[in-house]
Amino acid sequence: MPKRILFQGDSITDAGRNREDFYSLGYGYPLLVAAHLTAEYPGEYEYINRGIGGNLLVDLYNRRQEDLLDLAPDYLSLFIGTNDAWAELDQGRPIVTDEFEQMYEDLLKEIFAACPNVKVMLISPYIMEGKFSRNTAEQPDRLNQFRIHVASRIEVVRRLAQKYDLPFVDMQAVFDAACQCADAAQWTGDGAHPTAGGHELIKRAWLQVFEQIKER
């Protein structure tokens, strides 16, 4: 029986998947990961994408039973947090860092209780300069403030990865390094949603970690 890989998160993971198709992966990094692993290890894995665009951590937590625990994954990647920073900055829906951390940890505890053998990787949120994050006349320090809000959540994910001895993928560092080689517009159109090249960067970082944790 193939091992089940579950991708969980927000629109970066969702990537236009068909909600009516159980195995639809969308056009983003889950599809690229599946293509690579299928070519390398045909028949060894099945792939499920349950990312939902616009989700905050609380939304993911509220749908954890049907979209995570009931699916009993063998491998799980959690990629969430950018929308939480966005909501705090723009929508007046703040989830303070302590609450974010407690909810994230509660989610991890429920995952390990329901799926004790699951291998989990935690992927940090990130932000780059783009049309949703760049400075404006009304918010001349917008990009810096966005990065501060995102950074607080990156540190939460990093701490929890250390606490539970889980692989941590620092996507902010990956994209920051990529922006030293090419303009941010190569990797994202709006500061958060990846271009094809951005999804390729996520896929490469994802696979690096997966190769370390997959069963031999």
86 pLDDT tier (thresholds 50, 70, 90): confident
Q: How many CA atoms lie within 13 A of 21 on its CB side?
A: 10
The pLDDT-based confidence of 91 (bands split at 50, 70, 90) is low
Q: What percent of the chain has pLDDT over 90?
A: 82
**Contacts of 45 by beta carbon, 8 Å cutoff, 6+ apart:** 2, 3, 4, 5, 34, 37, 38, 75
pLDDT band at 93 (very low <50, low <70, confident <90, very high): low
Q: Please, which residues have CB within 8 angstroms of residue 48's CB and are 6 or more apart in sequence?
A: 4, 5, 6, 7, 22, 23, 71, 73
Q: Which of 26, 8, 24 is nearest to 16 (CA)?
A: 26
List pLDDT tens digits, range 146-177: 899 899 999 999 999 999 999 999 999 999 99
Measured CA to CA, the distance from residue 21 to residue 40 in angstroms comes to 24
Q: What is the pTM of this model?
A: 0.95
- For residue 87, the model assigns a pLDDT of 81
Closest CA to 95 of 125, 53, 135: 125
Q: 183-193: per-residue pLDDT in tens?
A: 999 999 899 99
**Phi, psi (rounded to 5 degrees) for 188:** -155, 150
Q: What is the pLDDT of residues 126-148, one digit of tens each?
A: 999 998 888 888 888 888 988 99
Can you give the pLDDT at residue 3?
Answer: 97
In this structure, what CATH number is given to the domain that contains residue 134? 3.40.50.1110
Q: What is the pLDDT of residues 65-82, one digit of tens each?
A: 999 999 999 999 999 999
Which of 47, 67, 70 lies closest to 59 in space, CA to CA? 67
Q: Could you report the per-residue pLDDT of 51-67, keeping only the tens digit for each? A: 999 999 999 999 999 99
- Which residues 6+ apart lie within 8 Å of 78 measured at CB? 8, 9, 60, 107, 120, 121, 122, 123
Instruction: Count up the domains in the chain and report the number.
Output: 1
Residue ranges making up the domain that contains 126: 3-213
What is the pLDDT averaged over residues 42-49? 98
Question: How much is the pLDDT for 132?
Answer: 83
DSSP state string for 87-121: IIIIIS----HHHHHHHHHHHHHHHHHH-TT-EEE
Whether pLDDT at 216 is above 60: no
Q: Is the pLDDT of residue 201 over 60?
A: yes
Q: How many CA atoms lie within 13 A of 82 on its CB side?
A: 25
What integer pLDDT is reported at residue 215 of this predicted model? Answer: 75
Structure tokens at 206: 């994802």
Tell me which amino acid residue 196 is. A
